[in-house]
Every structure is written in structure tokens, then in C-alpha cells.
Amino acid sequence: MKVKVLSRNPDDFRRETKRDIQKLPRNYDPALHPFEAPREYTRALNATKLERVFAKPFLGSLDGHRDGVHCMCKHPTSLSLLLSGSYDGEIRLWNLPKRKCVRAVAAHEGYVRGMCYNPSGDYFYSCGDDKIIKQWSMEEPGYGEHMQPTNTILGKTIFHAMDHHWQDNVFATAGQQMDIWDEERSEPMRSFTWGVDSLNSVKFNPIETHILGATASDRSIILYDMRGSAPLRKVILKLRSNTIAWNPMEAFMFTAANEDYNLYSFDMRRLDRPLNIHMDHVSAVLDVDYSPTGKEFVSGSYDKSIRIFPVDKGHSREVYHTKRMQRVICVKWSSDNKYLLSGSDEMNIRVWKARASEKIGVLRPREKEAFAYSEKLKEKFSHHPQVRRISRHRHVPKMIYNASKEIREIKASRKRKEANRRAHSKPGTVPFVPERKKHVVGEVK
Amino acid sequence: MEGEKQGSPRELTNFTAKKKMKSKRYFDEAGHEGKVEEYTVDVDTFLKEQRKERKKKIKELKTARQEETKSRKNRHILKKKNKQETDVRKKVDPYPGDAPISKKKLQKYGRGEKLDTRGMKTKYHQDTFSRKEQRVKEAVRQAARSEFLLSEEQGYLEADEGEETSQITQHDMSSAVDITSAQKYFELELNQFGPYRMNYTRNGRFLLIAGRKGHVAAMDWQTKKLMCEMNVMETAQDVKWLHIETMFAVAQKQWTYIYDNQGIELHCLKALDCVLRMEFLPYHFLLASANAKGYLSYLDVSIGQKVAGFQTHLGRLDVMCQNPHNAIIHLGHAGGTVSLWSPNVKEPLVKMLCHGGGVRSVAVNNKGVYMATSGVDRYLKIWDMRMFKPLQNYRISAGAGHLAFSQKDVLAAGIGNVVEVYQDCCRHTMTKPYLSHRLRSPVANLQFCPYEDVLGVGHGNGFSSLLVPGAGEANYDALETNPYQTKQQRRQAEVKMLLEKIQPDMISLDTGALGKIDTKTLQEKIEERNKLLFLKPQKIDFEPKYKMKGKSKGKKHIQRKKGVMEQEKKETIRKIVQLRQEDKREKLKNDKRYFGPKSVLDRFKKKSEAT
């Protein structure tokens, strides 16, 4: 007779000392793990609920400005520095981790219209309603001294925006015309005009560094090549675009924030129709900024909210608002892809998390693993009605809720009307126009 | 010179070049035994020649190296070893790559068939899904490979030649095995309080016994440490551990009570009265109980509320078991039927006529594939629960009163006061029992201890623990159930379990349904079609507005009314006809026998050929 009966030595299955970790032998046999689908579903549901429970995106506000914040500027190399300019001409330099104002200077008379760092971040430029461009050093002024501009350029016309080249010592200002300035000179290197009265924003392409985009008050978005003598091409939309932001990962892509509550993602090479229309705001979109990964962007709107859109999706994944936040004038996505900054009418700059329920700080490996697992589960069961409902739900202010309802009704009514018209007219006379073509008036080369 | 061969055209050209004689060079060669020979060579041609030779040499070297590697590979396949050629640097792993995994193992860990991406609409979806499929495949492979790490081996019993395993007594076995295993064969003599029901915890550490006359005891059966012992002073019909070893439920004469492991009464569940049998569904925290009046009820022990309760109208319910795979409750009835219940449906999901007489006992195996039933007709039947069909039919002398499956599908049957154990009785027809053991009193309850080779038997005179080699799962998963759990771990596990509690409405025959695509069922399709067929234009109540003077006279008024109604009716009828036609066309398109529009010549085809 040969016999073997299961007999385990407990010492092999228990920890040896109290300082040791417990032994956890695993056996992945599916027979030992029943109810796989229902259990995973329950976990996914819990993870989704917890995500909403922990969604506390507001981190803090930087207050100190005595008028609304009009523009902000990230430091090119330091994560902790932020510049902000307000309606009363004051520029403030902030230390973000300490949430404190480091320096403040009354730089301009009237609005501070634009600010930009040079690529190394040693100094920055600012322009204002007083037609002056000022250069400021980042070095701390001596004890008892006030911050003084290191260089001043008097312009002929008003400036509405400015941006610095990503590599060279060249910057651009937008106003009556597009001016390209060499840092060494007090006269613009080159000026572009294309039959419009004024430009209201300008952005350099971070990859194809000699390309710039600007928005004009004649509803157009104009593209320039710094090397050429004339602008490249422009696209005219139904309403004015306020700003554009270039995708930092895909050289051809940019997104425009429009007055018609939408954002439009364009391919620079084909301007006749946008790649995507991002809808959700219920008022004019004032500013947009890309995440450094190029997969998402943040937009600030006149409806007192911030929204985060995935590049390839038509609707936002997230909306941020507070009771006290007024019209959002400018937004920025931090260079470490973790935080958002918003400057608004009521003189505050707010710091938000880019992912509302993310745990801030260093994660232990087991924590990381658990988060990754729940992320995967959420993805797997994202189409189940219960999970989808919870993950999609956002509480929004009554104003936004009602306005979006109204917009929805307006759209439905228009659609209905079009369908009726189509039904009652000769076939073919009422053409089907795709949504993406509806908003573009034309492309000019 | 090396490699100078007559006949090759390149050499010939060099040969002719020699005649040009521009400069003179002397050099000796090993092949000429120190003789100095005079060669007259053109410099350019000489250099060219050298280059060529170098190339040739490189080529030769390359081919040689290739051949070498080839031969080395061949050597690996043939597993030949040439000691003279072995060089430390050139040593290569004789078994390169991962160890191969058998198909059977992959199947065991697999999650069904591979997804066919060919029918997908876009390349994008094809790519994403094939990538996903790749990941799933890798995960299955990893899980299968992890089997190498399992530390314990399953138990077994082999008889000598000319001997049957069923002849081996418990005494023989316990004297042959090690001392700790031998201690697992024991007897508790409890003569006073009548036939005993018993229950092991899910991790197999703790045992609960309850005598009919009210004696209840909980113990760590391996160390023989008693946790509590009491007499509930009432008939105790059944006893079950709840999700952890600190709580258990006792079905007493009138109500059901919950005690903690010290024997303190925690709850009296008046919702569960006259309960005869209980089952605890650990993943759902449900205590299912069947009572003497034919009432089946589900109680959620985490919130203390009754989730569902049905009057089965099937008489006294004293045969009950759960399907551990899908949490369906199986009830056996006096009429010979077995009914399957979920808390979501008022009627049985399935009703199977299993026996000619009443059903005495039901058991379902761990994977939920096989069900064993025994009846008054003295048959023991094995059923395939995927198809609800009988697989085996055994005639047992006295008929089995109690059945239990082990984790490894070993079946134990209590026949009077004999316990018989059958191995591999589901897929193959067995002819003799694996083990058999005679007790002094009739069997009252059977359960295999999880993760141990032990069968617990409650009987008239107490409790006995028998050794059944090969019955238990050798390797436990500590994150699922852990026999060596500490208090801390138990607390943590309880929280985790509560967080992952499966809602009772997810109990269904197919547990994987949640992970599948929700396609329309046939019934839904039929209903949809029926709706289409029986569509009727709605009756409308139209009252025309009164118009200008003279235009709303009685006749005109009715004409207008009728006109509108007629028009509306026509419109809807037209729509319905259109829908029906579309449906017909769709149906034709899907019909396999349809090969396009009918032609005039089709009438000459044979009837069987014609559509």
C-alpha cells in the first residue's frame, strides 16, 4: 500500500518572525476563484464610486491681485514659478508649491496684455495697453530696490498678445499687425498684415518652431511662417476665435477656443474642416492650453467653469467650478501634467488637479498596483450602465445646467426643423451638411 | 600567392596585368620554402587583388561561422556533446526559451475561445482587439506557468497487487502516514444528543457540530481546541458557519439563531422559522434556508435583511445543497424532482425529474458541472449541469442517504451506517468504491474538509473524521481562503469580502453573463417581430376647428374630419407595410437558401433545389 495524505508543515506557510511579512501562496486555478465576472464587476463599481468620492480637484488659490487676472505664463524650466498679469497692469511672480507671491510690480498702465519667457527662463517680456514692451530679469532685485525693466521698447500700436520663440531669441507680438522682434533690436524684424484690423492672440508652434498661429477679430485663424514674407493661410469660422493652443506632441495640430461655445481642433494642413469639435461649454470659450502629453487640453470659459477635453473626444471628461470663481480668463496646464491653473475675473488664480481623484504624493508600489488594477477594471466595465452613470455624473451650477439644457433643446429643434424641411422639399434640395463643415466659412490661402 | 587559381576569370585578368611591368616588388612566401622569387606586378592591380582577396576571406569566414552555428544548433537538437569542441564562451543553453506549456494546462487557465477579429468593421478595432487578445493570451500563459511554483502535491492511495483500495481500512492508513496526518483520523463519541450535523469553515480550520437534541460545539479540529460548547435546549436541525469563524447560525426548533464563537447569542432570526436545512453563500453573504412548510428564504447576513422568500409549494424541504459555482440552490423533493432556485425568480429556474421515488440527497461539485442525486429508488445518479442530462446511473444496494463532493470531485455517500467514497465516478463509470468505512450508527451528515484529505461524518453516535487521500485541493490561494490566517488577516479579509459582496440580483445560472456582450435573445427577437406583425393604425380623435362662417356646416365638418382621419390611417398603414417589407427583405437576405432574385427558369428546378 502506498499512501500520501495532505499534510502541510505550518512553518512553511507562516512568517518566521514578527518583523517578516505574511506568506501568501497563490494558486491561480479558476476553480478556486468562482464568480469571476460578478466580483470584478463589483470591484469596478466600487472603484468608480471611490473615484467620485475622492474627486476633490481644488487645491488652493493664489490671491493678491487687485484686479482680474488677464494672462499667465509658465516658466520654461521650473515647475514652481508662475507669472500672472492683471487688468491693472500689475505683474506678479508666484511660487506654486508655497502658494505665495514672490514679487509684484506695477508694470504697465492699463491691462497687461501678454507675457512670455525666453527659452532659458532668465528673463521675460511683457506688453500692455500702454504700447510698451518691457524686458524683466528674473534675478531678484537688491535689498530695498524695486524691480526695474532691463529694456523697454516703445511700440507704435497697441499690443494684444505676445509669445516667445521656443528656441531662438525671437518673439512675436500681435496687435494691429503681427510683428516679429529680434531681442537685440528695438524695431520689429518683420511685420505681417493680412487685411484685418486686429489680432488678439499669437502662439508659436513648439515643434515646427518657425510656424505661428494667431486669431484675428475678423473671425479668422491665421498661420504664419516666420521665414516667409507673407502669411501662409487662414481659416474663417462663423464666430471669432479667442486663442489657439498648439499640440506639443503633434506638430500639425492646434485647438482654437471659439466664441460660439465650442473648441475646434484643426490639422494645419487641412483647414477646410476641423478634425474635431469639442462641445460642452455654455458660453464663450476664452482660453485653451494643452497638456504636455498632447492627449488632453483644458479650456476656460465665460460660463465660470473649466473643462478638460480628450483630444479625440467631442465632449469633456471633467468640469471644474466653484461658487466663487467668476469668468475664467486664462488657463494653463502645468508642465508636469499634474495640475491646472486658472486665472479668473475675481482676481484669483486657482490651482486644480488635472485628474480629480488622483492621490498626490509618492505612491508605494502596492498602492500603484492597486490603482492600476482598478483603472483597468473601470475601463473593462465602463460600458455597463451603472458604472457609466456614476462615472459620468457631474454636479454643475444651476446656471450651467439650465443653459446646457436650453442648448440641447435648441439643437434638437434645429435638427427637427431641418428634417421637416427635408421631408417637405424636393429630394436633394436640402443637402446633408456634416457638423464639422457647418462651422467653417472658408479657407483662404 | 594564396587563392590564385587557374581558370577563374578574375585571376586571368590579373595574370595579363602582370605583363605590364611598371614597378618591381620582391616578397617571399611560405609556400616557396624561403626561395625569393621575383614577381612583377602593377601596383593598381595588386591593390585590387588584395582587396578582392580580403573580401573573399571575409566571405569564407562568414560561411564558416554560419556553418558552425548551424552545426551547433543541430547538435542541440540531437543533444550531442562533443567535449573537444566545447568552449566556455560558446556554451549555449541546451533548453532555450521558456519551458513549453501543455495545451491542457492552457485550456484550464483559459477564458473561453479567442475573439475573431476578421468580421470587425475597421482596421483600428481589429488592431485594438487583436492586441487585447494577445494580452489575454499572455496572461493565460503566465497563469499556467505559475503552476510550477505550487509547493504541495495532491494525496493518493495505491493498493498493493491483488488488493483493492476499498479493503484498506482507516486504521491501516493512519498507521502508514505521518503523525500529524494520523491525528486527523479521530472519533468523537457523543452518545447522548443524537444524530449530529456538522460543518467546516471555508478554509477548513474549524468545525461545528450540532446534535439533534441541542448540543452545539465549535472547535479547531486540528488542534482539538474547543471554542465553545453549549446546549441550546431545543432541537437543532442544522448548523452553518457564516463568512468567518466567529459567527455561526443554528436552525433550531422554532427560529434560527446566530451565535458567535464563544456561544453568545447574537441574533434570533424570527424571519426564518422551522428551518430544516441551511446553506451559506459566502460571496453573496446570503443565508439560504429551507423550512418544513416548503418555504425557501434568503437572508443577507451583512445587513440582516431578508432578500427574498418563496413558497415553493413542494412540501417539506429537507434536501438542500448549493452550487458553489453559481450560488444556485438545489432542492430535492419527495416527488423525485430536483428544483434549482435563485433569489431573483419566484419559480424554480429548472425542475428536473431525477428519480422514480423521493430524492434523498443532492450534491454539486466545486466547478458546478456535476450534480449527484440519490433517491428512495436506491439509484445514485450523476448529472451534467451544463446540459441537464444524466451521465451515470449507479444502483446502490441500500441507497445513499447523504452525498458530498470534495474539491477534487471525490464523491462520498452515506449508506446506512456505511460511508463509501467514489473516485472519478462522474466522467467514467466506476465499478467499485475507492474507500469504504463502517460506522456504529447511521450517517447523518457528510462533508469533505476543504484543503485537507479529510471527510467529516456526523452520525448517531457523534462525529468521525476519516482520511480520504486525494480528496482535497493541495494548494490554497491565500487571497481567497487561507487556512493559516492570522487574526489581523481575518479582519482584513472580512472587510475585503464585504466590499466585494456580490448583489443577490446577480445570481443566475450563467455567472459569466456579466462579462459577455448583451445580444438579443431569441425570445426578444420573436417578440419584436410579433409586434411588427400585429401593428395596427391607432384610432385618433380629431375634432376640426370651426372655421369661417359657412365653411363649418355639418356636412363639410364631417368631411374634413373623415378626410384627416383617413389620411392618418393610410399613412400609418403605409409605414407598417414598409416595415414589414423591410423585415421580409432582411429575412430573405439572412436566409442561406436564398441565392438572389428568382428567375423564370427556376420553375424547372427540382422541388428540393428550389428555394
Mean pLDDT value of segment B175-199: 94
B483-538 pLDDT, tens digit per residue, is 999 999 999 999 999 999 999 999 999 998 888 877 777 778 888 877 777 777 77
Q: Which of the residue ranges A233-242, B68-77, B378-387, B408-417 would you say has the lowest mean pLDDT?
A: B68-77
- Band of the pLDDT at B596, cuts 50, 70, 90? low
Q: Which of the residue ranges A10-24, B47-61, B223-237 would you say has the lowest mean pLDDT?
A: B47-61
Q: Which residue bears the cell 382621419?
A: B565
- Band of the pLDDT at B75, cuts 50, 70, 90? low
Distance CA B381, CA B375 (A): 9
Nearest to A375 by CA among A7, A50, A15: A50
> Which residues of A fall within a CB distance of 8 Å from B502?
35, 38-39, 42
Residue A10 has its nearest CB partner, among B146, B366, B484, at B484
Pair B396, B439: CB distance under 8 Å: no
Which of B186, B487, B500 to probe by mutation at the A interface, max A CB count within 10 Å? B500
Q: Is A258 left (phi over 0), alpha (psi -120 to 50) or beta?
A: beta
- Residue B329 sits at φ, ψ, to 5 deg, of -95, 130
C-alpha cell read off for A256: 482654437
Pair A327, A336: CB distance under 8 Å: no
Distance CA B601, CA B607 (A): 13
Using DSSP, state whether B197 is helix, strand or coil.
strand
- Band of the pLDDT at B591, cuts 50, 70, 90? low
A13 Cβ under 8 Å from any chain B Cβ: yes
- Band of the pLDDT at B10, cuts 50, 70, 90? very low
Distance CA B345, CA B465 (A): 38
Distance CA B486, CA B256 (A): 29
Residue B474 has its nearest CB partner, among A6, A30, A38, at A6
> Which residues of A fall within a CB distance of 8 Å from B184?
5
Residue stretches of chain A with pLDDT short of 50:
none
Distance CA A61, CA A82 (A): 13
More reliable by pLDDT, B536 or B263: B263
Examine the pLDDT at B46 and tell me if it is beyond 80: no
Pair A85, A107: CB distance under 8 Å: yes
ipTM: 0.84
- Residue A98 sits at φ, ψ, to 5 deg, of -90, -10
Whole-number percent of chain B with pLDDT over 90: 64
Instruction: Determine the straight-line distance between the first and last CA of chain A, rounded to whole angstroms.
Output: 94
pLDDT of residue B515: 81
Amino acid letter for position A294 = G
Nearest to B508 by CA among B372, B340, B383: B340
Nearest to A319 by CA among A360, A374, A264, A282: A282
Looking at chain A, which residue has its C-alpha nearest residue B169?
A: A1
- Band of the pLDDT at B64, cuts 50, 70, 90? confident
Distance CA B11, CA A22 (A): 79
Mean pLDDT value of segment B471-478: 95
C-alpha cell read off for A260: 460660439
Q: A23 vs chain B: nearest CA distance in angstroms?
A: 8
A34 Cβ under 8 Å from any chain B Cβ: yes
- Band of the pLDDT at B610, cuts 50, 70, 90? very low
Distance CA A221, CA A209 (A): 18
Instruction: Determine the straight-line distance between the first and last CA of chain B, rounded to whole angstroms.
Output: 86
Mean pLDDT value of segment B131-138: 93
C-alpha cell read off for A261: 461655445
Mean pLDDT value of segment B217-234: 95
C-alpha cell read off for A369: 498596483
Mean pLDDT value of segment B390-396: 94
pLDDT of residue B39: 45
> Which residues of B fall within a CB distance of 8 Å from A6?
152, 154-155, 181, 451-453, 469, 472, 474
Using DSSP, state whether B142 is helix, strand or coil.
helix
More reliable by pLDDT, A309 or B565: A309
Amino acid letter for position A298 = V
Helices (H), B258-362: none
Q: Work out the number of other CB atoms within 10 angstroms of the CB of residue A147.
A: 17
Q: Which residues of A358-392 are buried (b: 16+ CB within 10 A; e: fewer)?
A: eeeeeeeeeeeeeeeebeebbeebeebeebeeebe
Residue A35 has its nearest CB partner, among B152, B478, B511, at B511
Q: CA angle B38-B40-B41, nearest 5°?
A: 135
Partnered with residue B200 across adjacent β-strands are B207
C-alpha cell read off for A295: 492627449
- Band of the pLDDT at B34, cuts 50, 70, 90? very low
Looking at chain A, which residue has its C-alpha nearest residue B510?
A: A35
pLDDT of residue B42: 58
> Which residues of B fall within a CB distance of 8 Å from A374?
none
Distance CA B123, CA A211 (A): 33
Average per-residue pLDDT for chain B: 86
pLDDT of residue B2: 41
Looking at chain B, which residue has its C-alpha nearest residue A36?
A: B512
Q: Which residue bears the cell 501662409?
A: A232
B304-319 pLDDT, tens digit per residue, is 999 999 999 999 999 9
Domains of chain A: 58-353 (2.130.10.10)
Q: What is the CA radius of gyration of chain B?
A: 41
pLDDT of residue B70: 67
**Per the CB < 8 Å rule, is A37 touching B512?**
yes
Examine the pLDDT at B80 and tell me if it is beyond 60: no
pLDDT of residue B597: 59
pLDDT of residue A112: 96
pLDDT of residue B387: 93
Examine the pLDDT at B28 and tell me if it is beyond 50: no
How many helices (DSSP H) and strands (DSSP E) are in chain B? 9, 31
Residue B453 has its nearest CB partner, among A6, A26, A40, at A6
Distance CA B118, CA B121 (A): 8
